[in-house]
Amino acid sequence: MKTYVVLMGAPGAGKGTQAKLLEKSLGLPQVATGDLFRHNLKHETELGKLAKTYMDKGELVPDEVTVAMVRDRLSQADCANGAILDGFPRNTVQADTLEELLEEFNGHINVVPFISVDQDVLIGRLLNRAELEGRADDNEETIRVRMEVYHAQTAPLLDYYREKGLLATVNGEQSVDEVQSDLQALIRSKMD
């Protein structure tokens, strides 16, 4: 059976770190839309050039483009058993489309872990990441917009998935290892 996991959490909650660890422990590929856009940017594809104009501002890349990219990625061979979605969906249009997409792939969302971290802790982490990794969109202004976009467009998905009985909150203020072990236990308990 396939296993699809949607990792939710504000920017800086640790979705990327945790998804990479889950990829190793569960053998399910991390599908991170931000990473896919950054890959395209680096290779100067048309998609990358388009995405850059939105990413630099901290805004969402248009749904059509994003969904097409995710469909393409999920249809690749390494996603045959499912995937850990990181950074997608980011709004209700994308969430509705994901359901249709997974039906196409004969799967469904098994669980939506929400990595919960206090807002002040998040901002500190993002500014720290800006210094360590030099990500172009980790400056104060873009971080502010990304937080706004998260609260306005992505946070409503918490209710969306709660109503479907899929949401499970994990304390994201624990150590990386502790968060990881909570996530593994949760996901393993929801695999078909």
Query: What are the residue numbers of the active site?
Result: 15, 90, 129, 135, 146
Helix (H) or strand (E) holding 30: strand 30-32
Cβ-contact 6, 99 below 8 angstroms: no
Retrieve residue 137's tokens: 């969109």
Residue whose C-alpha is closest to residue 169's, from 36, 12, 10, 29: 10
Interface map 121-150 toward ligand AMP (x if CB under 6 A): ----------------x--------x----
Which residues are within 8 A (CB) of 185 and not within 5 positions of it... i.e. 6 or more apart? Answer: none
Kindly state the smallest distance separating residue 137's Cβ from ligand AMP, in Å: 6
Q: Compare residues 137 and 182 and give the one whose CB is closer to ligand AMP.
A: 137
Using CB under 6 A, which residues numbered 50 to 109 contact ligand AMP? 54-55, 58-61, 66, 87-88, 90, 94
Coil, strand or helix: which one is 23?
A: helix
Q: Which one of residues 29, 34, 82, 107 is an interface residue with ligand AMP (CB under 6 A)?
A: 34
Kindly state the smallest distance separating residue 91's Cβ from ligand AMP, in Å: 7
Q: Does 12 bind ligand AMP (CB under 6 A)?
A: no
Q: Does 33 bind ligand AMP (CB under 6 A)?
A: yes
Q: Which one of residues 3, 5, 9, 11 is an interface residue with ligand AMP (CB under 6 A)?
A: 11
Amino acid at 140: E
For residue 107, the cross-strand partners are none
Q: Compare residues 76 and 92 and give the one whose CB is closer to ligand AMP.
A: 92
- Which residues are at the interface with ligand AMP (CB under 6 A)? 11, 33-34, 37, 54-55, 58-61, 66, 87-88, 90, 94, 137, 146
